[in-house]
Each structure stands twice: as C-alpha cells, then as structure tokens.
C-alpha cells in the first residue's frame, strides 16, 4: 500500500468529499487486488493506480446528478470540502502558495485548474468528471492559467 | 539558448495557456524550460509558475489521510478474498452436483437397459415355480380322482340285497364328505359316520363294513400321501420361487453396487481432471 496516500489525495481533489474519497480508494484497492496477476507486468504501478482512482472518481461523479453534485461542490461546500486544499496547505509551502493563488480564481476556473494541475487529469477526464464539454474545459483552463500567470507575476 | 529554441518554448507555453497539452506534454515543457539557460525574464516567470504547480501536485502526497484508511483497505481486500473463495467453492459445488446428477441419470438409464435386455433370473424362476404349482394342483386333482371310491363301490356289489342298496349311498356320502373337505376333522367325522353305519348292519354287513373300512382306510392313506406329496411340492416350488426372487434381488443389489462404484470412480476422475 505504498500509493494509497496519493490515491486518496487525488480522489479527494476530484470528489471533494473525504468519505467518498476513502470509499473510492477502497474500491480501487479491491479492483487492483482482483487484477493482481496483470499488475505484475505493469512498469509504472503508481500511474496505473492513479488512473484507476481517476476512473472510479469519474464513475462516482457520473452516478450522482452531475450538475447538481458539481454545483453543490462549488456553492455549498461540505465541512470536509473546506479542508481539501487547506489540509494540503498545512503540509506544504508550495501547496500553500498555489492554494492562495487558486483561491483568487472563480470557482469553475479554480475547479478545472485544480483537477488539471493537482489531480493530473487531462481535459477529457476533466470533462467527464465535471460534466462540462471539452471545449468548455479548455476555455476555463485557458482563463484560469492566464489569471494565475497574472497573479504570479505580481508576486 | 538560440532564438529558435526560445520561439519553440513560447509556442508551447502559448498552447499551455490556451488550455491544451496533456500531462506528459506539460512535464516535457517544464523539463525543457528547466534545461534552458539564459531564459528571458518572462519565460522564467512561466517556468516558476509551472514548477509551483508541479510541486503542489507532488505535495499532495503529504496531506493527511484518515487514520483508518489502511485498515479499511485491508478489510476490503480481506472481504474480497473471502467472497472470491466462496465463489470458487460455490462453483465447485455446482460442478460436482451437476456431475453427480448426470451420473445418477446415467445409472438409471443403464439399469433400465440392463433390465430390458436381460430379464432377471428371478422372474424366470418365479414363472417356473408358478408352472410347477399348476402341475401340483393337477397332481392333487389326480390324487383326489384316484381315491378308491369306485373300488369300494364295486366291492359292495357282493353285499346282501338289504345292505347293497345302501352301500353306494354310504360310499357316495363318504366320498362327498372327503372330496368336500380336506380337513382331517371332517375325515374323522366321515369315518365315524361310516363306522356307525357299519355297526348298524348285519354280520355280513359288519364284515363287509370292516372290509370297507379297510379299503377306506387305505384310500385315506393314499389321499393323505397324495396331499403330503402335493404339499411338499408346493413348499418346494415356493422355496424355489423365493430363492429365485432373493437371487434376483441380490443380483440387482450387485448391479447397483457396481453402478455406485462406477459413479464414485467417475467423480474421482472428474475431480482429478479439474
């Protein structure tokens, strides 16, 4: 279980809920255990594990009413939600700095940039997880990154 | 760093700011920026931004995780393993049950075939016994018919006129009594009646009655002997039939035992094959 920490962090960033993230990591490990014979032939097991977590997170978000879930995530953050990056900020100066930059972005831009930069998701994965179209994701990323660059240049 | 490389880096950065690029391409872009020397100031800012994001991505490994996460993962895997074992056991049970059912059906079919192709010895013996019983009945009838009634009646032809007329009646009565009943009690009653009748006759009649009694006694002896022979034959035939039936049942039991042995062997072979 050497990747469980990162798997949990990725799941937490994507689903914005500690309990759900824990369940997803459990499911991911069960799935990995069932495929234990094929995992032996994989070179980069960490990337494989993260990919499994991402897919489970996307499935989880799809099962929920995607728009509602995402709006809830943005507009009515749960108590756990407050700490998803704050928890990271406590752990790292880099995260603290990036977190402070991200907090200045509009919610949707922040969400998309977070999924791309922190969770390491590609645009199609972000589109699946958020329910946005890929073009919309690209637009939000574009604006978010440019806004980050402006904020970063001021520092 | 030449202008061309700077131009390429700017193009890639523009693509990144445009919202494109995969994670691998982003990593490659950061690596190229880090490898470049004498970067313009604006590109250095871009590089620091990308580095900060990459460090933040790496730093999520340091976030707090639930205390029970590892134990929950272990429990989930143990539960999955338990379910998998149960599923395997269920598949084995199903397979063995299927094989047993097929073997049982095959055994029943085989038994039916064996019975239809080779009628049991017991049935033959039973038929034989029934046939012999028929013979025995015929022998009984013959013995009854051969009772010395006619002989006695013929001998009464020498009696006196007064008694001669009654003798056939006595003989017929006695014969009727004997043929109507096989019980010794009735035979005794018949003999008593006959003796009484003889006592009531004259001396010749008494003498003839003695002779008659002797003849009847002889007839009764023959009759008893015939009955005994018939009874013995019946008993023999019955014993023969019973022996045949027992033999047939034993033969069936032996067949069943062979079938069971074959079934167990088939099960063993199947389990070994699996």
Confidence at B66, pLDDT banded by 50, 70, 90: confident
Smallest CA–CA distance, residue B38 to chain A, in Å, is: 19
User: Which tokens in the block code for residue B114?
Assistant: 């064996």
> Is residue B4 scored above 70 in pLDDT?
yes
Q: What is the pLDDT of residue A84?
A: 47
Q: Kindly identify which residue of chain A lies nearest to residue B71, measuring between CA atoms.
A: A26
A27 touches chain B (CB under 8 A): yes
Please report, rounded to a whole number, the percentage of residues in chain B having pLDDT higher than 70: 68
CA angle A129, A134, A138 (to 5 degrees): 105
Helices (H), chain B: 3-17, 23-35, 41-59, 69-117, 121-145, 149-155, 161-164, 166-180, 184-199, 203-273
Q: What is the pLDDT of residues A82-122, one digit of tens each?
A: 444 454 444 456 677 778 888 888 989 998 998 888 888 88
Q: What is the pLDDT of residue B167?
A: 59
- A52 touches A9 (CB < 8 A): no
Average pLDDT, chain B: 76
Instruction: Using the structure block, give the residue that is written with the tokens 């009764």.
Output: B220
Confidence at B39, pLDDT banded by 50, 70, 90: confident
> Is residue B24 scored above 80 in pLDDT?
yes
Interface test with A, best of B22, B73, B78 (most A CBs within 10 A): B73
C-alpha B225/C-alpha B4 separation (Å) is 139
Q: In A, residues 81-100, which contact B (CB 8 Å cutoff)?
A: 87-88, 91-92, 94-95, 97-99
Confidence at B174, pLDDT banded by 50, 70, 90: low
Residues of A in contact with B87 (CB under 8 A): none
> Is residue B177 scored above 80 in pLDDT?
no
Q: What is the pLDDT of residue A76?
A: 42
C-alpha B44/C-alpha B201 separation (Å) is 164
- B122 touches B249 (CB < 8 A): yes
Residue B134 backbone dihedrals phi, psi, to 5 degrees = -60, -45
C-alpha A93/C-alpha A113 separation (Å) is 19
Residues of A in contact with B57 (CB under 8 A): 117-120
Q: Kindly identify which residue of chain A lies nearest to residue B45, measuring between CA atoms.
A: A153
Q: Which of A20-34, A118-132, B183-197, B258-272 has the lowest mean pLDDT?
A: B183-197
Residue B259: closest CA among B104, B119, B146, B128 = B104
HSE-up (13 A, CA, CB side) for residue A73: 25
Residues of A in contact with B14 (CB under 8 A): none
**Yes or no, beta carbons of B63 and A87 under 8 Å apart:** yes
State ipTM: 0.73
Q: What is the pLDDT of residue B86?
A: 87
Confidence at B124, pLDDT banded by 50, 70, 90: low
**Yes or no, beta carbons of B76 and A26 under 8 Å apart:** yes
More confident residue, A33 or A79: A33
Residues of B in contact with A138 (CB under 8 A): 18-20
Q: What is the pLDDT of residues B214-254, one digit of tens each?
A: 888 888 888 888 888 888 887 888 788 778 878 877 887 88
Interface test with B, best of A86, A127, A132, A145 (most B CBs within 10 A): A145
Contacts of A53 (CB under 8 A, 6+ apart): A7, A10, A11, A24, A25, A28
Residue B69: closest CA among A20, A127, A91 = A20
> Is residue A72 scored above 60 in pLDDT?
no
Q: What is the pLDDT of residue A90?
A: 47
C-alpha A111/C-alpha A137 separation (Å) is 10
Candidate from B17, B62, B76 with C-beta closest to A29? B76
Confidence at B183, pLDDT banded by 50, 70, 90: low
> Is residue A66 scored above 80 in pLDDT?
no
- B→A interface, C-beta within 8 Å: 16-20, 22-23, 45-46, 48-49, 52-53, 55-66, 69-70, 72-73, 76-77, 80-81, 84
Q: Which of A124-133, B107-116, B155-164, B174-183 has the lowest mean pLDDT?
A: B155-164
Residues of A in contact with B56 (CB under 8 A): 88, 92, 94-95, 97-99, 117-118
**Yes or no, beta carbons of A33 and B80 under 8 Å apart:** yes
User: Which tokens in the block code for residue A80?
Assistant: 């756990």
**Yes or no, beta carbons of B62 and A88 under 8 Å apart:** yes
User: Which tokens in the block code for residue B164?
Assistant: 């001669």
- A132 touches A109 (CB < 8 A): no
Confidence at A80, pLDDT banded by 50, 70, 90: very low
Q: What is the pLDDT of residue A144?
A: 92
Q: What is the pLDDT of residue B170?
A: 64
More confident residue, B89 or B131: B89
Question: How many other β-carbons are positioned within 10 Å of the β-carbon of residue A21?
Answer: 27
Q: In A, residues 93-152, which contact B (CB 8 Å cutoff)?
A: 94-95, 97-99, 101, 117-123, 137-142, 145-146, 148-149, 152
Look at the pTM and tell me if it is higher than 0.80: no
C-alpha B101/C-alpha B245 separation (Å) is 30
Mean pLDDT of B89-98: 88
Candidate from B23, B62, B73 with C-beta closest to A4? B73
Mean pLDDT of B103-129: 71
Q: What is the pLDDT of residue A139?
A: 93
Q: What is the pLDDT of residues A9-59, one digit of tens each?
A: 888 888 888 888 899 999 999 988 888 888 778 878 888 888 898 889 888
């Amino acid at each position: 279980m050497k990747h469980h920490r990162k798997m949990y962090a990725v799941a937490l960033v994507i689903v914005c809920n500690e309990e759900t993230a824990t369940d997803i990591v459990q499911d991911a490990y069960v799935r990995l255990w069932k495929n234990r014979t094929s995992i032996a032939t994989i070179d980069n097991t960490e990337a494989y594990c993260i990919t499994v977590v991402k897919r489970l997170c996307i499935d989880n978000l799809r099962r929920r009413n995607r728009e509602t879930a995402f709006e809830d995530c943005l507009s009515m953050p749960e108590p756990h939600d407050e700490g998803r990056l704050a928890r990271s900020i406590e752990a790292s100066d880099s995260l603290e700095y990036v977190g402070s930059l991200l907090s200045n972005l509009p919610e949707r831009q922040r969400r998309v940039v977070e999924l791309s930069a922190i969770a390491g998701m590609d645009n199609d994965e972000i589109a699946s997880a958020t329910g946005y179209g890929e073009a919309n994701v690209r637009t939000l990323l574009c604006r978010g990154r440019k806004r980050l660059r402006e904020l970063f240049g001021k520092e | 760093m030449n202008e061309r490389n700077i131009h390429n880096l700017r193009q890639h950065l523009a693509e990144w700011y445009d919202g494109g690029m995969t994670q691998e391409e982003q990593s490659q872009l950061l690596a190229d920026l880090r490898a470049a020397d004498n970067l313009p100031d604006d590109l250095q800012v871009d590089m620091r931004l990308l580095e900060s994001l990459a460090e933040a991505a790496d730093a999520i490994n340091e976030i707090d995780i639930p205390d029970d996460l590892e134990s929950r993962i272990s429990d989930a895997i143990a539960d999955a393993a338990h379910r998998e074992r149960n599923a395997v056991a269920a598949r084995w049970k199903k397979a063995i049950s299927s094989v047993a059912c097929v073997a049982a059906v095959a055994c029943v079919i085989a038994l039916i075939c064996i019975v239809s192709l080779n009628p049991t010895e017991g049935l033959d013996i039973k038929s034989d016994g029934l046939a012999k019983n028929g013979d025995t009945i015929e022998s009984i009838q013959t013995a009854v018919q051969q009772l010395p009634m006619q002989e006695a009646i013929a001998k009464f032809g020498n009696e006196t006129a007064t008694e001669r007329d009654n003798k056939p009646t006595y003989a017929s009565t006695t014969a009727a009594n004997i043929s109507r009943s096989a019980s010794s009690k009735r035979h005794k009653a018949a003999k008593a009646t006959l003796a009484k009748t003889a006592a009531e006759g004259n001396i010749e009649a008494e003498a003839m009655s003695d002779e008659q009694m002797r003849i009847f006694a002889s007839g009764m002896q023959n009759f008893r002997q015939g009955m005994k022979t018939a009874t013995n034959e019946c008993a023999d035939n019955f014993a023969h039939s019973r022996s045949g039936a027992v033999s047939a049942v034993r033969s069936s039991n032996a067949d069943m035992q062979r079938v069971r042995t074959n079934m167990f062997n088939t099960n063993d072979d199947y389990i070994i094959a699996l």
